[in-house]
Amino acid sequence: MTLRPLVAAALTLAFSLPQKHPPESAPQAAHRWRVAHEQQILQEFDTLLAIPDVASDTSNIRRNADALVQALQRRHVAARLLSIPGVNPVVYGDIKTPGAKHTIVFYAHYDGQPVTPGEWDGKGPCTPVTRMVNGEPRIFARAAADDKAAIIAQLTALDALQAAHVPLKANVRFVWEGEEEAGSTHLRDILEQYRTELGGDVWLICDGPVDQSGRQSVVFGARGVTRLEITLFGPNRELHSGHYGNWAPNPAMMLAQLVASMKDSTGHVLVPHFYDGVTPLSELERRAIADAPANEALLRQEFGLGHTDGDGKRLLELLNEPSLNIDGMTSARTGATANNVIPSTATADIDLRLVKGVDWKAEQQRVVDYVASRGYFVTDSTPDKAMLLAHPRVALVVRGRLGYNAVRTPMDLPIGQAVVKAVESARGPVVRLPTMGGSVPLEMIEQTVNAPPIMVPIANYDDNQHAANENLRLQNLWDGIETMAALEAMP
């Protein structure tokens, strides 16, 4: 209630300005609107964050989607859900601009990573709280940074442009996905079914963090991703380590020996053919990396790293190579509940990141082949005793059913230059990068709606994305609103 007079005053100001001053730029209009409406913006953000958003939680996913359709409709945007049966819907908004030469598509996702509430400080992943970090406010909640911030920035930018009567020049489309963190399982199906609605001259992927230096980045691609889970078997029940130690094989040791042999001590992957087919960087791409800030020292300090992998290569170079990462490794128990046992099983979850030229299924197969080459009989379903007895070593390898390949949009396309120009009008000189280390399903966009994807992230790099205590630095939201306003108003 106390906000009402402020809002009214701001609206009056917004509507009166065009008649008295030179027309505002989109970023200027966004800035003025934000300063006058911070509480209202945060209220809308908090309400969205309070809705649980794990992709498998379909009833809450639907609540998110419905709320977002309404948020677009409140802005007079033609909005609806693009659905196919049994799939989390895409929230779709469409603004047709008379005389437009281009159609700009804004992609974001409204689902978040799975959560382990006990690991969160405060009131858990779905109760947004603001806490100070390094003297600046941040909002802590699942999806605060990845990726609901982008959605709120796009909505608020619309408010600002409408209030300041800054006209749009292009057609603008919003495409907000509901299962990105589950691997964008059905996005391809939706893209194929709704090709007409989803086409455009460029897809702006508003996801991921800006450069660690704090400078705004525009990123022309992203790594692909897929997963594998490897489980090895010892005795079919935990055995007393005294009575059987030295004789009964220990699956934790077997797993250690198996995964240890997949990399050398610098992190270089030793799985045969792992780097085969990688498309080399172009001269323009190499130059962009050379021109980008060197953040390694900052990051080592920030993360407390006494050494780094990569044999001295720069982080940005290494993000243009495929990677093999252990997401987690478990066998029996450690700490207070540990027992003197030979564990029964040991499991490692592994994610593979792909770069241009490497197919995700082929890369999965190389890892599976490697496991087999180490003497394991590989099965994709839980082995029974007969199978375990029939082979010296058995590995249950569950391949992630889905994955996607990397994309690198050429850095010299005219539409890409226009995107950079718009972003720079809001944020000054940007960091241009050929590849984001994280993964976004860009490949299927190229393949279905034939649009070049370009990434314009807004989150802070130190956002605990994918982990407990995910957070968004508030200033990144404010900056992001101006960036989105500039892009929504681009020609």
**Binders of a second copy in range 394-423 (CB under 8 A):** 394
CB 14 within 8 A of CB 6: no
Quick note: the x/- pattern for a second copy over 96-135, rule CB under 8 A, is -----------------xx-x-------------------
CB atoms near residue 432 (< 10 Å): 21
Distance in Å, CB of 27 to a second copy, minimum? 27
The footprint of a second copy on residues 293-312 (CB under 8 A) is 296, 299-301, 303-310
Query: Which of helix, strand or coil describes residue 80?
Result: strand
If the CB atoms of residues 22 and 328 are measured against a second copy, the closer one turns out to be: 328
CB 435 within 8 A of CB 406: yes
C-alpha torsion angle, residues 51, 55, 56, 59 (rounded to 10): 40
- CA 286 to chain CA centroid, nearest Å: 24
Residue with tokens 């564990």: 343
Q: Cβ neighbours of residue 125 under 8 Å, at least 6 residues apart?
A: 52, 112, 115, 117, 141, 142, 468, 470
Distance between CA atoms of residues 178 and 58, nearest Å: 10
Residue with tokens 């080459």: 373
Task: Return the range that interacts with a second copy (CB under 8 A); candidates 14-22, 75-83, 317-325, 421-429.
Answer: 317-325
The footprint of a second copy on residues 430-489 (CB under 8 A) is 436-439, 461, 464-469
The footprint of a second copy on residues 337-396 (CB under 8 A) is 337-343, 346-349, 351, 353, 385, 388-394
For 199, counting Cβ atoms within 10 Å of its Cβ (0-12 exposed, 13-18 middle, 19+ buried), the class is middle
If the CB atoms of residues 234 and 434 are measured against a second copy, the closer one turns out to be: 234
- Cα distances (angstroms) measured from residue 83 to each of 163, 177, 186, 278: 32, 11, 10, 36
Distance between CA atoms of residues 151 and 174, nearest Å: 9
CB 456 within 8 A of CB 218: yes
Distance in Å, CB of 469 to a second copy, minimum? 8
If the CB atoms of residues 70 and 382 are measured against a second copy, the closer one turns out to be: 382
CB 160 within 8 A of CB 15: no
If the CB atoms of residues 35 and 389 are measured against a second copy, the closer one turns out to be: 389
The footprint of a second copy on residues 44-103 (CB under 8 A) is none
Distance in Å, CB of 229 to a second copy, minimum? 7
Among 177, 179, 321, 363, binds a second copy (CB under 8 A): 321
Applying CB under 8 A, the site for a second copy has a residue count of: 100
Distance in Å, CB of 389 to a second copy, minimum? 6
CB atoms near residue 194 (< 10 Å): 18
Distance in Å, CB of 438 to a second copy, minimum? 3
Among 21, 334, 381, 401, binds a second copy (CB under 8 A): 334
Distance between CA atoms of residues 91 and 186, nearest Å: 14
Distance in Å, CB of 386 to a second copy, minimum? 9
The footprint of a second copy on residues 170-209 (CB under 8 A) is 208-209
Instruction: Please provide the distance, in angstroms rounded to a whole number, between the alpha carbons at the two ends of the chain.
Output: 38
The footprint of a second copy on residues 23-42 (CB under 8 A) is none
Distance in Å, CB of 312 to a second copy, minimum? 11
If the CB atoms of residues 28 and 331 are measured against a second copy, the closer one turns out to be: 331
Peptide bond into 147 cis (omega under 30): yes
Distance in Å, CB of 6 to a second copy, minimum? 38
Task: Return the range that interacts with a second copy (CB under 8 A); candidates 28-36, 68-76, 256-264, 414-422.
Answer: 256-264
If the CB atoms of residues 25 and 347 are measured against a second copy, the closer one turns out to be: 347
Distance between CA atoms of residues 484 and 147, nearest Å: 14
CB 311 within 8 A of CB 352: no
The footprint of a second copy on residues 267-296 (CB under 8 A) is 267, 296
If the CB atoms of residues 52 and 438 are measured against a second copy, the closer one turns out to be: 438
Quote the crossing angle between the two packed helices 474-488 and 38-49, to the nearest 10°. Answer: 100
Distance in Å, CB of 344 to a second copy, minimum? 9
Distance in Å, CB of 367 to a second copy, minimum? 14
The footprint of a second copy on residues 210-249 (CB under 8 A) is 222-223, 225, 227, 229, 233-249
* Of 247, 249, 220, 246, nearest in space to 233 by CA: 249
If the CB atoms of residues 268 and 286 are measured against a second copy, the closer one turns out to be: 268
